[in-house]
């Protein structure tokens, strides 16, 4: 199967700072406020994007870059909030700046008929994404106590939440015309994201599976 145009990349080492874990929700507030404003602006821009893609058959490069920044930044924020990663994110949404990151392919041709009904077609994926969001929150709540005690996030818990984030990122990428590929439950192996080789080796050395 061809790789999905939206891919999650994990370079997290599972270590968690107990102090930032204890106050994670409070520390995330500035990012949540900025993300809310960012979302409002992106929704407005994507009304224009929808018409432009219908006319040109492809999302304009500038809007594609904005949407790419938005989806990546949202993934960084939720990865921090849900304890999938430890460092406080930047506000930029730039690639390669966070242990839970996205690889997003360049603009691609979009079928006009699919674009026309994109908001309708995304509904099943949106509903399933909402279910996965609830699952991720429940796991993160349990993980909060574990991180406070151990100072690290169990790999299985982190991976499952990362899987949920990957699906949500693909869903928003589909909605905002970053790709015409529907969100996938089987676009790779394991929990459907790439883990950097050096991180895999480090975890293996320390006996973490």
At what angle are helices 61-81 and 29-56 packed, to 10 degrees? 150
pLDDT tens-digit readout, 132-150: 999 999 999 999 999 999 9
Is 72 in contact with 104 (CB distance < 8 Å)?
Answer: yes
The bridge status of strand 194-195 relative to strand 6-10 is parallel
Q: What is the mean pLDDT of residues 185-202?
A: 53
For CA atoms 128, 78, 25, 38, give the dihedral sign. Answer: negative
Residues 6+ apart with CB under 8 A from 171: 122, 125, 126, 128, 129, 183
Which residue reads 């459907």 in tokens?
A: 192
pLDDT tens-digit readout, 40-57: 999 999 999 999 999 999
Which residue reads 């151990």 in tokens?
A: 150
Q: How many Å apart are CA 137 and CA 164, to the nearest integer?
A: 10
Q: Which tokens go with 20? A: 């930032």
Kindly report the pTM of this predicted structure.
Answer: 0.88
pLDDT at 185: 84
Residue 209 has pLDDT above 70, yes or no: no
CA–chain centroid gap for 106, Å, is 17
Is 41 in contact with 74 (CB distance < 8 Å)?
Answer: no
Residue 103 has pLDDT above 90, yes or no: yes
pLDDT at 195: 57
Q: How many Å apart are CA 7 and CA 168, to the nearest integer?
A: 11
pLDDT at 7: 93
Residue 208 has pLDDT above 50, yes or no: no
Q: How many Å apart are CA 136 and CA 83, to the nearest integer?
A: 10
Band of residue 3 on the pLDDT scale cut at 50, 70, 90: confident
pLDDT at 2: 75
């Amino acid at each position: 199967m061809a790789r999905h145009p939206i891919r999650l990349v994990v370079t997290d080492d599972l270590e968690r700072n107990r102090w930032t874990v204890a106050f994670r929700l409070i520390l995330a507030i500035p990012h949540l406020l900025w993300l809310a404003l960012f979302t409002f602006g992106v929704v407005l821009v994507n009304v224009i994007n929808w018409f432009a893609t219908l006319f040109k058959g492809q999302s304009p490069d500038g809007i594609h870059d904005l949407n790419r920044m938005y989806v990546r930044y949202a993934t960084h924020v939720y990865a921090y909030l849900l304890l999938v990663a430890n460092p406080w994110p930047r506000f930029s949404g730039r690639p390669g700046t966070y242990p839970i990151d996205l690889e997003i392919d360049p603009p691609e041709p979009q079928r006009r008929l699919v674009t026309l009904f994109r908001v309708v077609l995304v509904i099943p994926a949106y509903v399933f994404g909402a279910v996965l969001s609830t699952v991720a929150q429940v796991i993160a709540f349990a993980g909060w106590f574990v991180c406070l005690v151990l100072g690290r996030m169990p790999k299985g818990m982190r991976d499952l939440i990362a899987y949920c984030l990957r699906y949500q990122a693909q869903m928003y990428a589909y909605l905002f015309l970053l790709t015409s590929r529907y969100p996938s439950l089987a676009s790779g192996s394991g929990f459907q994201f790439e883990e950097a080789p050096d991180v895999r080796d480090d975890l293996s050395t320390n006996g973490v599976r």
